[in-house]
A and B are shown apart, each in its own frame.
Chain A
Amino acid sequence: MKAFESIKIVFYKEIVDHLRDSRSLSLSLVFPLLAPILVGILLYFVNTSNIQGQKDFIMDGPVAGAEYAPRLMEHLTDHGIVIKPAPLVREFQEDAVKRGDLPFILVIPPEAAGQNLFKVEIIMDRGSPKSLAAAATILRHVTIYGRQESRRMLEASGLDPRIVTPITVTERNIGKTLNTAFLFYNMIPSLLTFMIFMGAVYLAIDVSVGERERGSLESLLATPIERSSLLLGKSLTALFFTAVIILINLVAFYIALHLATGGVENVDPPPGALVFLKLFVISLPLMAFAVALQMAIAFMTKSAKEAQIYLGLLPIIPLLPGLVMIFSPVDPSSAISAIPIYGQLALFIEIIGGRDPTWGNVMYSIVGTMSGAMIIFYAASRLFEREKTVLGF
């Protein structure tokens, strides 16, 4: 019998067998939906809260001695700060901020009454992000008020107000106002890589070490087919299910991100269908690499339980460079593209960012990863032929 025929027989049997495993199948179909749903929900809340924040900014402003600087209070109120009374005694002020009862206190001394030039103090807790953010906002508004007062006084004195600000800077933002969405889009490469290594782990275990534990391996090995064909048929099954899981994962990301950003203005739109299609194509060699690695590891273990432990940890390895690359993207070069996992991550980030990777880099990625997959598959087939694999000891 030709090797191709044997591979086809084993592949078909494994597909039928695993399609009937309703519990594992439904789990493996639900699993790739989790990350897209979570990312979609987070993105939706971040977007809506940002927009709400921009449209109707309101913040409590605890002030001690508000009556000494009525014009400053008017300025703050005009900018969405709701002036609230704060303790007047220093000790109580510090306690209130320290305990977190108040995010900060703007202290205006009695000497400020009726004065144009006066000092104010902001009591804040730099160890608390909430206090830090609120104090930064009040500081910005007080500084703006100070500048306006300075201009007014200079004009009243007949001087050109520009002498205090000789250089005027204006910003021109060519991006979207809310670019936080991009942070979420940049999570896709690492989550996708995680899913590639995690997706069909249960199946890789079942068709390898599971076969021995079930007691069906010996009958199978007594049939007149090459062991490499047997292994390839099983590996192709794991590859097929990984590809289906990744397809579901990418479609779910596409839908979740579009739902999360739909109707929200000023947000970078999520990647289109073509981008997701490119991600799928680029990830195919990595799927082969992941399956070969799963098989090799599974055949090194003595039981399905042991295989579950090792293969459960496997996705962490590609996840680490992925997480680093969210915040510190690497420009894909031919050398980086040829490195399995790392190359795909670099290309994924390029594609997600709306840039088309060069054909050269894509080819390097395919050749590099497929070469790695074949080397590992060869190692897996050698492990499969070991007597330890057959006997389990």
Chain B
Amino acid sequence: MIIVKELQKKFGNLDAVKNLSFRAEDGKVTGIVGHNGAGKTTTFRCLAGVLQPDGGQILVDDWDVRTARIEVQRRIGVLPDAKGLYPRLTAREHIRYFAKLYGLDDEEIEMREQILIERLDMHGFADRRAKGFSRGQRLKVALAQALVHNPKNVIFDEPTNGLDVTGVKAVHDLILELRDLGNCIVISSHIISEIAKLCDHIVIVAEGCDIMSGSAAKLKRQSGHGSLESLFLEVTAFPQRDALKVVK
């Protein structure tokens, strides 16, 4: 389970995240939705222990990311916004490298490697060097890296960005499968339809603050909007957003 309480993060004079709170339960998909620059990626970087929050608290399975970064990172799988690979390593070597960094022993590495190559359908390119991989193949390797230690909590930043229809469906299936296995999943996206389809709990973010949160049905019902898209467009453009915190 992931709990974010009043998160704040500044870069110089810029408030990247002003005041953001949400709770992501196990066995559910929590979606963070917002425009570009709303603070989604910064929040994910803080969650992943890559950046240090300036204020607030992040708890992953009751471990505080500020005081127990390593413990948090053991319990979380991260698909970052930048999904860069090492062009001279094969897909299999990427998986093995990250498995070792996550402290898996040889037997576990062997097992997880087989499972992930099978599950993500990587047989065709598992032993090819990453240089020249398609976007979909790159994403699969990055997903395998994130899931290699079988984390209870996973955060995916823009997981379907730039993928074709088949790729998008494969990622959606994986997310739903992980949810059914009882994992806590947090995804970020600016594609409302994707969030509506996948997420049990939605957090709308604008200018570094959470504006509204709840299930898709609840948000629509309580705001009186027929679609999530029109709701999103209105609340992220409306100046008095705090007034719209109807479901928290």
Contacts and interface: CB of A to CB of B under 8 A. Distances in A.
Interface of A: 1, 6, 9-10, 13, 16-18, 20-21, 214-226, 387, 390-391, 393
Interface string B92-110: 0100011011110000000
A215 B82 contact: yes
B145 A219 contact: yes
Nearest to B157: A218
A222 B80 contact: yes
Given A1-B103, A215-B82, A215-B83, A223 B51 contact: no
Which of B76, B82, B85 is the most central at the interface, judged by chain A CB atoms within 10 Å of its CB? Answer: B82
A266 B89 CA distance: 55
The secondary structure that dominates the A interface is: helix
Contacts of A18: 88
B15 to A, nearest CB: 15
Interface residues of B, number: 35
A220 to B, nearest CB: 8
B186 interface: no
Given A17-B88, A214-B84, A390 B101 contact: no
B11 A219 contact: no
Contacts of A226: 70
Contact of B103 (A221, A224, A390): A224
Nearest to B80: A218
Nearest to A215: B84
B202 interface: no
Given A21-B88, A215-B82, A219-B83, 16 more contacts: A1-B103, A20-B89, A214-B84, A217-B82, A218-B82, A221-B49, A221-B50, A222-B48, A222-B50, A222-B80, A223-B73, A223-B101, A224-B70, A224-B103, A225-B70, A225-B101
Contacts of B98: 219, 223
Nearest to B49: A222
Contacts of A21: 88
A176 to B, nearest CB: 51
Given A9-B97, A390-B50, A223 B86 contact: no
A393 B88 CA distance: 27
A303 to B, nearest CB: 15
B78 interface: yes
B81 interface: yes
A219 B80 contact: yes
A223 B50 contact: no
Nearest to A10: B101
B86 to A, nearest CB: 6
A216 B97 CA distance: 12
B45 interface: yes
Given A9-B101, A219-B142, A221-B50, A20 B88 contact: yes
